Structure 1
Amino acid sequence: MASAPHIGTLVPDFTLPGGVLTGDRFERRDYALSLQRGRPLVLAFYPGDDTSVCTKQLCSYSSGLEQFQDQDAEVWGISPQDVDSHERFARKYDLRMPLLADTDRRVARAFGVAAPGIGLRRAVFLIGSDGTLRWKHVALLGATFQSLDTLARQLADTATA
């Protein structure tokens, strides 16, 4: 498993295909980390679309998007499924955040969360507006996830640090 970025270091750039549900449309495009500079970003790596814990996690983040937006932050969900799978998942649960397709797990490897057998570990990375890693949590077992309140608190703490 590759080494994940360390707190305080610049996060390596990447571009992934993805989409976001806006109204009735699922808008597909490429998402580049470098184009997100200037505002904080939450990267939520999750093992799979439409699975029990992943659904709870992404529904929680999507329903609480205003807490992230209040801090001028965006949330991107990243998993190994393709964009078609992400569209079905977003439509089924009305998920309103971009879902990115890391089908070859290249980005998961760069962040140190690729795992043999399970695909990837559930993990969250908070990236500051300057592109540096401010906080992270990588789960050993993916049965739980970091709560919306925890992420909002960490975002607030890193904004004042």
Structure 2
Amino acid sequence: MALKKGDPIPEFELKTKDDEWFYSKDFAGNKPLVIYFYPKNFTPGCTKEACSFRDSYEDFKEHGAEVIGISSDSVASHSRFAKKHELPFIFLADEKGKVRRQFGVKSELFGLLPGRETFVFDHKGTLILKYNSLKATTHIKRALTAIKQLPHEN
């Protein structure tokens, strides 16, 4: 079942690009989170999207938010992708698509391509924005606008 505005962040655990465990419960309710799902590392659209998040990363951090990219790529692939493009944020390997299903991210192009969808959660871990578009570059602007509208909490 797909997440909708007002829903809490699902509890999940995945490996990071550094081969360490990431637990959503450690972040949920502590700071705003921008979690974006994308099809595949090193593809043109996904690289453009990741680099756009990189270029705006300080804006997200300035507002207390953390950015997390999730795809079905392996830990090793995420590590190479982040290193090659100097991507400073968290990447998670959802190789079996379990978390993608938890969030209700739909496939695109007749089910041939994993979906591209961005979720923004506030300081309390509540979904405030869900954005689905194949156009990679629009996700950053939507997510940053949502983060900037949140009350600043220390």
Contact residue 105 and residue 114 of structure 1 kept, 8 A: no
* 1:6 corresponding residue in structure 2: 4
Same amino acid, percent of matched pairs: 32
By how many angstroms is 1:29 displaced? 1.1
Q: Larger strand proportion, structure 1 or 2?
A: 1
* 2:32 corresponding residue in structure 1: 40
Contact residue 14 and residue 34 of structure 1 kept, 8 A: yes
SS in 1 for 2:69: strand
* 2:112 corresponding residue in structure 1: 117
Distance, in Å, in 2 between the alignment partners of 1:150 and 1:28 is 30
Tell me which amino acid in the other structure corresponds to 1:4.
A
Distance, in Å, in 2 between the alignment partners of 1:90 and 1:9 is 30
Deviates more, 1:148-157 or 1:120-129: 148-157
Runs of 4+ in 1 over 6 A off after TM superposition: none
Q: Structure 1, residues 57-104: CA drift from partner, whole Å, max 9, x if none?
A: 001101221100011000000000010010111111111111100000
Distance, in Å, in 2 between the alignment partners of 1:112 and 1:150 is 19
Uncovered stretches (5+) of structure 1, i.e. residues with no partner: 20-26
Could you state the TM-score of these two structures normalised by the residue count of structure 1?
0.85
SS in 2 for 1:64: helix
* 1:31 corresponding residue in structure 2: 22
Q: Name the Cα RMSD after superposition.
A: 1.5
Could you state the TM-score of these two structures normalised by the residue count of structure 2?
0.89
In the alignment, which of 129, 135, 141 is matched to residue 135 of structure 1?
129
Is the aligned partner of 1:59 residue 2:51?
yes
State the number of aligned residues: 148
By how many angstroms is 1:114 displaced? 4.0
Tell me which amino acid in the other structure corresponds to 1:74.
E
* 1:17 corresponding residue in structure 2: 15
Tell me which amino acid in the other structure corresponds to 2:27.
Q
By how many angstroms is 1:9 displaced? 1.5
Tell me which amino acid in the other structure corresponds to 1:88.
R
